[in-house]
Structure 1
Amino acid sequence: MKQFKNILMASALLCGAFFTACDDNDEKPVFPENQENVYDMSGFAKGADVSWLTEMEKSGYKFYDAEGNDHECMSLLRDLGMNSIRLRVWVNPDQGWSENEGYFNPEGWCDKDDVVTKAWRAHNLGYRIMIDFHYSDIWADPGRQEKPAAWADLSFEELQKAVADHTTDVLSAIKARGIDVEWVQVGNETRSGMLKPDGAASSGNTANFAKLVTSGYDAVKAIYPQAKVIVHIDEGNNPNRYIWLFDGLKADGGKWDVIGMSLYPDPETQDWRKLNNDCISNIKNLIERYNTPVMMCELGINWNYEEAEAFFTDFVTKAKEIDQCLGVFTWEPQCYGGWKGYHKGLFDDSGKPTSAFNAFKR
């Protein structure tokens, strides 16, 4: 099965992942005719993390416009206002999943090859690209920052080298395809550190975390010197969470270019208007405190919430007014029908886009 998967991926890369023309004499991407007159991919980033896309396609998912016509997903998202794509990468995902926990990934979704395939597709459509390193075989998030199985017994010095080597390996494979990368996350939602227990961070002790972040940072710059490196944590409305971590990183010599955020209001228990305002206030304060731009890397709310469009419109409008807020990414907006139990996409249960996309067409 693995060999078959590699053959499919190689074919996809050679032919621009199914929808761009191949040209043996010219490796430059082939864009749809007159694209430059139709799509403005510059300025404020309006982004979509579509890391599940290839797995969804393999499972038979299709994506439709408002009239019910099916489209290739990334092309459709571009028509709906998106100009940037975010892609997560796991180290050895077929090693990090457990059937007992409800996770199983024998085909290696979100490994290096899968990420290169999706990055090539995004590149050929003119998207700007963010790569999100989890430094794990499975989800890295506020509650889970596990080492990859292959790194379990490494010393801390070896762990720093593993971070650098993995970052270099993946980014080199992407660059070899002629793909530019604008942003790179070194870790995902690392509110308490990463690669625990070695890289755990707590108030007053961020030294090891800072060293791991710096290992990733330096590796990014060696491959993509102009790429902006993001340190990303959750609850963008919670300023104290950001201040202690970034004060610690600064004191311990950690390197970053952009502060990344997540925000997922629960309208049943939270006032999304207040959360939006608190997050916008936090963005402004962090820019001033650290002289650092901020990016909303993950924004989401249940697709069928009656005020979903108002939520996204309110946040995007206010974020665009902040000079050093670089953009807003939604997390897996293409998901629908309860895919993997996730209900915060921007498509309805029939696979058609909801009105929430209007927030990204402005």
Structure 2
Amino acid sequence: MKRFKYMILTASALLCGAFFTACDDNDDKPVFPESPDKEYDMSGFVRGADVSWLTEMEKKSYKFYDAEGNSQECMSLLRDLGMNAIRLRVWVNPEQGWSAEEGFFNPEGWCNKEDVVTKAWRAHNLGYRIMIDFHYSDIWADPGRQEKPAAWADLSFEELQKAVADHTTDVLSAIKARGIDVEWVQVGNETRSGMLKPDGAASSGNTANFAKLVTSGYDAVKTIYPKAKVIVHIDQGNNPNRYIWLFDGLKADGGKWDVIGMSLYPNPDSEDWRQMNNDCIENMKNLIARYQTPVMMCELGINWNYTEAEDFFTDFMTKAKQVDQCLGVFSWEPQSYGGWKGYHKGLFDDSGKPTSAFNAFKR
């Protein structure tokens, strides 16, 4: 059993450069709890949090509070609330990630290699297990958008495969150079329709190029972290048809993966979350049997102020733990609050305090 004893880290580098992108004149530093004798169980079923927005939120002076209203550094607070794993997304050149329809611009480079290493180092020093989520884009990659990075736009398909491998190797090598272990790596994010379109588009009966790109990422991961589990991740975990055609195609075309990753975001105003949970759990069982590989819920969320939010998370966590070869559950950006980036599916209320939904991650 992996246990982590909390230690107060006094090295100045931990607060200047290691915990932050850069030191500045801001005296408002996060507060670390002084509990040197407290132990945390970081083993077993994954109870995870994707906190990729964290450094940007801190730069914008967002603070995080425990239930009593005491200000606390976010990752240490999440650990106190039951989390044992951290997930971090990577964009290739996010400074170039412009989206006219969404007005997205990221001149600070949040979620680039350097920012990811900063957050991974923080998580590592708190004893967290770590997942790295490669989007292979300068901007969000999801079912509706799988855009090539600007620097890769004119590459041939063979060059594109090499770019995937080189980028994966570069980022993971930078993380490993800090002595940080990585337990899971996603090669692509919500790649239901493929990735790096149009070259890597996937459709029913045509996943050959997608499989080659996935394999390029897979092989690069294993070169740096041979024991890391590689995840292929798609959305709508309650919809088995989305999974079967894609993974049947990947298998037939020689694509490699170790774990099947899922997302699930019920809309309680129009969807029955209980049925969605049951359908997702059943899908997990069937996928495990069909492909003989584990599954993981990589993104789970529901509106923080939904009256049954705690019930939703508790129901899903309880059922997922009963599935042999379900490795665990990650909540997506639980630290988000106050309408940050228009996202309302975190686990904090609008005052920056944790909601009761965290109880599901303590059980």
Q: Give the alignment's TM-score, normalised by structure 2.
A: 0.91
Tell me, yes or no, if structure 1 residue 240 matches structure 2 residue 238.
no
Q: Which amino acid aligns with 2:218?
A: Y
Alignment of 1:122-271 (within 5 A): 122-271=123-272
Deviation at 1:14?
Answer: 6.7
Matches within 5 A, 1:1-362: 16-17=18-19, 34=36, 38-98=39-99, 101-362=102-363
Distance 1:205 1:98, change over 3 A: closer
How far off its partner does 1:108 sit? Answer: 0.2
Deviations 1:41-97 (A, max 9, x none): 000000000000000000000000011000000000000000000000000000012
Compared CA separation, residues 43 and 64, structure 1 to 2 (3 A) = same
Whole-Å separation in 1 of the counterparts to 2:193 and 2:143: 7
Q: How far is the alpha carbon of 1:98 from its aligned partner?
A: 3.9
1:132-171 alpha-carbon deviations (Å, 9 max, x no partner): 0000000000100000000000000000000000000000
* Aligned-partner Cα distance in 2 for 1:98–1:317: 39
Sort the Cα spacing of 1:184 and 1:55 in 2 relative to 1 into closer, same or farther, 3 A: same
CA distance in 2, matches of 1:346, 1:269: 21
Give yes or no for contact 1:185–1:231 (8 Å, CA) kept in 2. Answer: yes
Structure 1's unaligned 5+ residue stretches are 1-9, 19-30
Counterpart code for 1:335 = S
CA–CA separation in structure 1 for the residues paired with 2:238 and 2:172: 31
Distance (whole Å) between structure 2 residues aligned to residue 157 and residue 320 of structure 1 = 41
In 1, are the aligned partners of 2:123 and 2:130 still within 8 Å (CA)? Answer: yes
Query: Quick one: which amino acid aligns to residue 289 of structure 2?
Result: E
Contact 1:16 1:124 in 2 (8 A): no
Amino acid at match of 2:354: P
8 Å contact kept, 2:17–2:118: no
Look up the equivalent residue of 2:321 and give its one-letter code.
Answer: K
For residue 6 of structure 1, what is the aligned residue in structure 2? none
C-alpha distance after superposition, 1:325-345 (max 9, x if no partner): 000000000000000000000
- Following the alignment from structure 1 to structure 2, what is the Cα–Cα distance between the partners of residues 264 and 32? 36
Residue 173 of structure 2: SS of its match in structure 1? helix
Point out 4+ residue stretches in structure 1 off by more than 6 angstroms: none
Compute the RMSD of aligned alpha carbons. Answer: 1.5
Over 3 Å counting, the alpha-carbon distance change for 1:55 and 1:99 in structure 2 is farther
Distance 1:338 1:206 in 2: 38
1:63 partner SS: coil
- Any idea what the Cα deviations from partners look like across 1:290-337, whole Å, max 9, x if unmatched? 000000000000000000000000000000011200000000000000
Percent of matched pairs sharing the same residue: 86
